[in-house]
């Protein structure tokens, strides 16, 4: 999947840098350490800006190109920061058969952004996700950790509004 | 840990867990010995957690505390299978099944059922478990469960997966002990071969044969045992449910394989989209290490085995065995050519065997009950059972395990309860993006590996999505192609470019711009992608197109020749129309139309101008009188 690069300036804190260093130290020397380190780094920063990739590459003795190659290969790694509320719509088969494409359309039109993007106030981002395995509740959308099963296009605006004024 | 210590734990917890296995009188007798009058099981799987089972558990514990009901045990289990009805709650020893629980319902059940001398609250029970004459059926006698045969799922929804003692109570790690002390590695492999077990991940390769390929030079070279838990097929969630409901069965089976081929290190590669499964596996591995059931010198023998957990990061191709291993090594998850097969040169260049979660879940029972027991189930060439994830347009969505050879009709109509809203069954899709569609004509074919291939589909990992007359088969084929285009790793040309071109043809068809020549081109491309792709992802990518084109050719022709979508899905081919007989002139449609394509006076029938209409369907959703239709 092609990935858009972020235009938001990198603003890492010292605590984040310290946390990253601890992760790197814990995995150093382990075979195939890159993936677990990247996963942890994304947990720390919320995304993987090039500054973080450079640091990881240097620490694991890899080229930045190799790290960047891995980051862009896997769909869960993000080059963009996520909104405060990350909205995901499942487009797995069970959800699709039950019309989750209509849910996605409703979310996109409500927020005025397309999937993979973030609103300009950094409040909402929209993503399409692969099957979450909650097929019994299809169609499924999530806002951060909250899961909304058996979603209907009509109710999307109401769900988003709950977070809008927060 | 010694076998005596293992058996001590088993004896201590056996009755407590058995209450949930046998219902009615015997269960009641058993319950008396356990100190718990009632046991309440609540599903903590992904489906029920999504519908709020955590709130239910909290509410129940608070209410029991308030009422001082100390002899009621609350157990958080894995998936029961009926995910659409969550949160689910089962009360033993009766085996009564409450569905769609709310915190208010919990209070009612505590007041009326869980108190001393209480009776089940019939209004809140799962509707299929209450007969017309008022008899309450225990869980395992309801239509959804009665036809099932639970082997791989035997402990799911029975034990608390975060408690190793409950798994031990139902014989966990006994098979490992038997292998280590009473069987040689070659005997273990012979049992696996004799059982006829075939890989449940999709390809159906005989498990025992795979192990045999990797068994030479034991102790001389480093070898690895891998578990493929990268369940990427959309609509399939059986592996997730096993990991969430019975993680120890996978750990034990991997250790058995380690003994059989001479490996001391296992890896489980699990999808990051499955946070609960990751958490349960982490707990299980730590508990097994603590008990000495993983680690150095297991059961005091000279066999050592440990397991490391690795997380995927959202790449479908990593479900392919060579790509999975490349990913564990820390690279882009691209597949590599076979041969050399993983059994010869796999993870980190060493001999490796790789099996799917559901395959692992069968293995300890085969060791305990013997190859003949397993081979007695199923069809001639497909032994045992298969778990299917039922989804889509079906009444009972969820997880079912049936004997191989069960017909699709039995699964869809009897266990699944048929298609909802009186609609007609159109097709079932098996095998996800690698599989195909089974039309109504093939409903009575006994399902096994070979029959499914013969009718143009494949077993795949076991996702089974039901479609009704409202689903457009061309659109479904396009959906799957879109998925493979996105997930193609880009290493080989046939898959990278071929699937993209194939997708474009399907886009043309659904937009009403295709000619008959495009259909020829489509068939030609399908064949070439199949023949020339490096890995199974590309080789099977055209399957959804090939099988829908075979079974529903008239639908393709309708799109191409008549420029119509018979199911009314493909927007470019739709025309919205207001029935003047039904229209009351309420003006709601005209007010909501984003392009002002609808005109009409108040209380007079409205008209849609199809030159302006963009086919968004807002009028259809807004009409209260059912006057708007697609045609």
Q: Are residues A156 and A126 part of one domain?
A: yes
Beta-sheet pairing, A85-90 with B398-403: unpaired
pLDDT class for A1, splitting at 50, 70, 90?
A: very low
In this predicted structure, the answer to whether residue B457 has a pLDDT above a threshold of 80 is yes
Rounded Cα–Cα distance for residues B602 and B589 (Å):
11
Q: Which residues of chain A lie closer than 8 angstroms to B397, CB-CB?
A: 94, 135-136, 138
Q: Are the C-beta atoms of residues B464 and B390 closer than 8 Å to each other?
A: yes
Report phi then psi at B403, rounded to 5.
Answer: -70, 145
Helices (H), B448-607: 449-454, 473-487, 493-496, 498-510, 516-532, 536-540, 543-551, 553-560, 588-592
Give the Cα separation of B21 and B15 in Å (integer): 10
Query: What is the DSSP secondary structure assignment for residue B615, as one 8-state letter?
Result: -
Q: Are the C-beta atoms of A57 and A64 separated by less than 8 Å?
A: yes
Report the CATH number that the domain containing residue B279 is assigned in CATH.
Answer: 3.40.50.11540
Mean pLDDT on B141-168: 94
What is the extent of the structural domain holding A52?
A: 14-73
Q: Are the beta carbons of A134 and B467 separated by less than 8 Å?
A: no
Q: In this structure, are A31 and A97 located in the same domain?
A: no
**Among B462, B466, B442, residue whose Cα is nearest residue B454:** B442
Q: Does the complex come out with an ipTM higher than 0.90?
A: no
CATH code of the domain covering residue B616: 3.30.70.20
Residues A90 and A144 in one domain: yes
Tokens of B225: 């045992």
Confidence of residue B138 (pLDDT cuts 50, 70, 90): confident
Least confident range of B27-41, B180-194, B198-212, B245-259: B27-41
Q: Which of B529, B560, B591 is the last residue of a domain?
A: B560
Cβ within 8 Å of residue A27, ≥6 positions away: A33, A36, A37
Q: Would you call A75 and B315 a contact, using CB atoms and an 8 Å cutoff?
A: yes
- For residues B213 and B258, state if they share a domain: yes
Of B314, B328, B471, the CB nearest to A97: B471
Domain containing B490 equals 473-560
Q: How far apart are CA B55 and CA B81, in angstroms?
A: 20
Q: Which of A132-146, B68-82, B166-180 has the highest mean pLDDT?
A: B166-180
> What six digits make up the tokens of A105?
């359309």
Query: Comparing A129-143, A147-161, B237-251, which segment has the lowest mean pLDDT?
Result: A129-143
Lowest mean pLDDT among B21-30, B242-251, B323-332: B21-30
Cross-strand bridge partners of residue B398: B390
Of the candidate ranges A7-11, A99-103, B519-523, the one whose mean pLDDT is the lowest: A7-11
* CB-based contact, A96 to chain B, within 8 Å: yes
Do A57 and A116 lie in a common domain?
no
With contacts defined as CB-CB under 8 Å, which chain A residues touch B463?
A: 93-94
Instruction: Write the DSSP string, B574-604.
Output: --EEE-TTT-----HHHHH-TT--EE--TTS
Number of domains within chain B: 5
Do B302 and B428 lie in one domain? The reply is no
Judge if B460 and B485 occupy the same domain. Answer: no
DSSP for chain A reads ---PPP-SPP---HHHHHHHHHHHHHHTT-TT-HHHHHHHHHHHHSS--HHHHHHHHHHTT--HHHHHHHHHHSTT--SSPPPSEEEEEE-SHHHHHTTHHHHHHHHHHHHT--TT-B-TTSSEEEEEE---S-GGG-S-EEETTEEE-S--HHHHHHHHHHHHT-
Same domain, A149 and A95: yes
**Is the pLDDT at B112 greater than 80, yes or no?**
yes
Task: Judge if B252 and B346 occupy the same domain.
Answer: yes
Would you state the structure tokens that stand for residue B243, as one six-digit string? 């990991």
- Mean of the pLDDT values across residues B125-151? 89
Q: Do B234 and A93 touch (CB under 8 A)?
A: yes
**Domain containing A125 — which CATH number?**
3.40.30.10
Q: Which chain A residues are within 8 Å of B273, Cβ to Cβ?
A: 76, 129-133
For B497-506, the pLDDT digits (tens) are 999 999 999 9
- Identify all chain A residues contacting B279, using CB atoms and an 8 Å cutoff: none
The residue out of B442, B468, B494 marking a domain boundary is B468
Q: Which residues contact B172 (CB under 8 A, 6 or more apart)?
A: B164, B248, B249, B252, B364
> Is the minimum CB–CB distance between A147 and chain B shorter than 8 Å?
yes
Question: Are residues B209 and B340 both part of a single domain?
Answer: yes
Residues of A in contact with B429 (CB under 8 A): 93
A34 and B330: CB-CB below 8 Å? Answer: yes
- What is the total count of domains within chain A? 2
Could you tell me the two tokens for B100? 């769609």
Mark whether B458 and B354 lie in a shared domain: no
Dig out the tokens for A20 from the structure: 């990253």
* Contact criterion met (CB < 8 Å) for A31 and B331: no
User: Residue A113: inside a domain, yes or no?
Assistant: yes
């Amino acid at each position: 999947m092609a990935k858009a690069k972020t235009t938001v300036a990198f603003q890492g804190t010292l605590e984040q840098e310290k946390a990253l260093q601890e992760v790197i130290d814990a995995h150093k020397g382990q075979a195939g350490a890159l993936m677990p380190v990247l996963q942890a780094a994304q947990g720390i920063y919320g995304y993987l800006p090039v500054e973080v990739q450079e640091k990881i590459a240097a620490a694991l003795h890899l080229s930045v190109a190799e790290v960047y190659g891995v980051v862009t290969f896997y769909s869960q790694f993000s080059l963009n920061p996520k909104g405060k509320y990350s909205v995901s719509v499942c487009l797995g088969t069970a959800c699709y058969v039950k019309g989750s494409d209509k849910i996605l359309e409703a979310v996109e039109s409500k927020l005025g952004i397309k999937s993979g993007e973030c609103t300009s106030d950094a409040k909402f981002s929209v993503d399409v996700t692969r099957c979450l395995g909650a097929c019994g509740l299809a169609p499924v959308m999530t806002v951060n950790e909250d899961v909304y099963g058996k979603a209907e296009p009509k109710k999307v605006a109401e769900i988003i509004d709950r977070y809008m004024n927060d | 840990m010694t076998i005596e210590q293992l058996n001590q734990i088993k004896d201590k917890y056996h009755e407590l867990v058995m209450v949930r296995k046998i219902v009615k009188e015997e269960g009641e007798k058993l319950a008396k010995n356990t100190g718990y009058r009632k046991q309440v099981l609540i599903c903590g799987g992904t489906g029920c957690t999504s519908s709020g089972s955590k709130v239910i558990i909290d509410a129940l514990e608070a209410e029991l505390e308030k009422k001082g009901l100390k002899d009621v045990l609350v157990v958080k289990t894995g998936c029961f299978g009926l995910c659409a009805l969550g949160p689910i709650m089962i009360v033993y020893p009766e085996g009564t099944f409450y569905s769609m629980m709310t915190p208010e319902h919990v209070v009612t059940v505590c007041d009326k059922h869980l108190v001393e001398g209480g009776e089940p609250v019939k209004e809140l029970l799962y509707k299929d478990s209450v007969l017309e004459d008022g008899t309450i059926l225990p869980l395992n006698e309801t239509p959804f469960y009665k036809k099932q045969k639970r082997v791989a799922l035997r402990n799911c929804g029975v034990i608390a997966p975060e408690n190793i003692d409950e798994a031990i109570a139902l014989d966990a790690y006994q098979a490992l002990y038997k292998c280590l002390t009473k069987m040689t590695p070659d005997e273990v492999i012979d049992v696996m071969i004799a059982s006829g077990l075939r890989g449940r991940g999709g390809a159906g390769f005989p498990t025992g044969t795979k192990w045999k390929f990797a068994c030479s030079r034991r102790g001389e070279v480093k070898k690895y045992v891998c578990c493929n838990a990268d369940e990427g097929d959309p609509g399939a969630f059986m592996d997730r449910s096993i990991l969430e409901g019975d993680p120890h069965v996978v750990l034990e089976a991997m250790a058995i394989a380690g003994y059989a081929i001479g490996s001391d290190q296992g890896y489980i590669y699990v999808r990051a989209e499955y946070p609960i499964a990751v958490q349960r596996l982490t707990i299980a591995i730590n508990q097994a290490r603590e008990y000495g059931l993983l680690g150095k010198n297991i059961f005091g023998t000279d066999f050592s085995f440990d397991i490391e957990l690795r997380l995927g990061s959202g790449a479908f191709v990593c479900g392919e065995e060579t790509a999975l291993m490349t990913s564990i090594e820390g690279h882009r998850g691209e597949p590599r050519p076979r041969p050399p097969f993983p059994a010869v040169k796999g993870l980190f260049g060493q001999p490796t065997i790789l099996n799917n979660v559901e395959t692992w879940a069968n293995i300890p029972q085969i060791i305990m009950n013997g190859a003949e027991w397993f081979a007695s189930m199923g069809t001639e060439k497909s032994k045992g059972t298969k778990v299917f994830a039922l989804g889509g347009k079906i009444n009972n969505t969820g997880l079912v395990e049936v004997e191989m050879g069960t017909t699709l009709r039995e699964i869809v109509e009897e266990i699944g309860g048929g298609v909802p809203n009186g609609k007609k069954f159109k097709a079932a899709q098996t095998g996800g993006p690698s599989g195909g569609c089974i039309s109504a004509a093939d409903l009575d074919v006994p399902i096994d590996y070979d029959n499914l291939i013969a009718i143009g589909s494949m077993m795949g990992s076991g996702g089974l999505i039901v479609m009704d007359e409202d689903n457009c088969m061309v659109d479904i084929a396009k959906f799957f192609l879109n998925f493979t285009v996105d997930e193609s790793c880009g290493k080989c040309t046939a898959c990278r470019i071929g699937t993209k071109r194939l997708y474009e043809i399907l886009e043309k068809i659904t937009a009403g711009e295709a000619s008959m020549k495009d259909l020829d081109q489509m068939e030609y491309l399908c064949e070439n992608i199949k023949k020339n792709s490096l890995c199974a992802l590309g080789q099977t990518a055209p399957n959804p197109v090939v099988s829908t084109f075979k079974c529903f050719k008239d639908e393709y022709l309708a799109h191409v020749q008549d420029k119509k979508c018979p199911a009314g899905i493909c927007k470019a081919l739709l025309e919205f129309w207001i029935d003047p007989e039904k229209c009351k002139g309420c003006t709601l449609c005209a007010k909501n139309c984003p392009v002002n394509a609808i005109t009409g006076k108040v209380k007079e029938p409205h008209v849609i101008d199809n030159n302006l209409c963009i086919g968004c369907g807002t009028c259809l959703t807004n009409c209260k009188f059912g006057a708007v239709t697609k045609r």
